[in-house]
């Protein structure tokens, strides 16, 4: 599947190059639509690589992860019954302050600077604070990303999709469809606290 995607990306690149050679008078390189698809695909590919690299860096920078505590599970069960036993959390984590995607720095929004999720592993900047509503809200937000990762099929697919959506959102973090989903649930969850 991933291989297929890479091959088709190479084909698109090749087609673009050939088109450039044939239309070198500069009048038509690619239709705007094709250019858009090409740029999105490039973001997806670069994002996938960046996300997987960041996951490795975070893992090597930080120590042990812990299962959710019973108290956290009690709060989160309502929305994440299928997921609460599959994620683990690293507390007091050394965070990354940005992602570098295709040579460009991508800064995080407010939640992601305090917490980041790499599929089933959630990193929190703060220490464990049982019953703390802010920490629980952040966890709820991050759990949405853990679920997205699981549903999409892992690190590669999540990174790919996340950065395509980031590009579609005009590179504005909060407008990313995948962040919107996380913030929506976070809001609903906050009302249950």
Asked whether position 93 contacts Zn ion by CB under 5 A, the answer is no
Nearer to Zn ion, 45 or 147 (CB): 147
User: Is 76 or 182 the residue whose CB approaches Zn ion more closely?
Assistant: 182
Shortest separation between residue 46's beta carbon and Zn ion, angstroms: 19
| Residue 96, burial from CB neighbour count under 10 angstroms (0-12, 13-18, 19+) | middle
Q: How many CB atoms lie within 10 A of CB 57?
A: 13
Task: Rank residues 5 and 177 by Cβ distance to Zn ion and give the closer one.
Answer: 177
Contact status: 124 vs Zn ion (CB under 5 A): no
For the chain, where are the E strands, in sequence order?
66-67, 88-90, 98-101, 104-107, 115-118, 121-124
Which residue, chain included where needed, has tokens 């036993």?
A: 85
- In the bound state with Zn ion, the residue whose beta carbon lies nearer, of 20 and 87, is 87
Q: What residues from 159 to 188 belong to the interface with Zn ion (CB under 5 A)? A: 179, 182
Residues lying near Zn ion in the complex (CB under 5 A): 179, 182
């Amino acid at each position: 599947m991933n291989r297929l995607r890479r091959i088709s990306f190479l084909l698109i690149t090749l087609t673009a190059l050939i088109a450039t050679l044939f239309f070198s008078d500069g009048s038509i390189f690619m239709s705007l639509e094709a250019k858009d698809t090409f740029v999105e695909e490039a973001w997806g590919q670069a994002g996938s690589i960046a996300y997987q690299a960041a996951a490795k860096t975070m893992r090597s920078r930080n120590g042990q992860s812990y299962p959710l505590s019973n108290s956290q599970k009690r709060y989160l069960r309502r929305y994440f019954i299928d997921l609460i036993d599959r994620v683990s959390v690293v507390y007091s984590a050394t965070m990354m302050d940005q992602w570098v995607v295709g040579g460009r720095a991508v800064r995080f929004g407010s939640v992601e600077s305090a917490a980041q999720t790499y599929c089933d592993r959630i990193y929190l900047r703060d220490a464990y604070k049982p019953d703390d509503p802010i920490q629980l809200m952040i966890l709820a937000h991050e759990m949405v990303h853990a679920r997205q990762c699981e549903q999409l099929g892992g690190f590669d697919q999540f990174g790919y999709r996340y950065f395509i959506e980031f590009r579609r959102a005009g590179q504005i973090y909060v407008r990313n469809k995948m962040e919107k989903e996380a913030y929506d649930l976070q809001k609903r969850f906050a009302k249950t606290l």
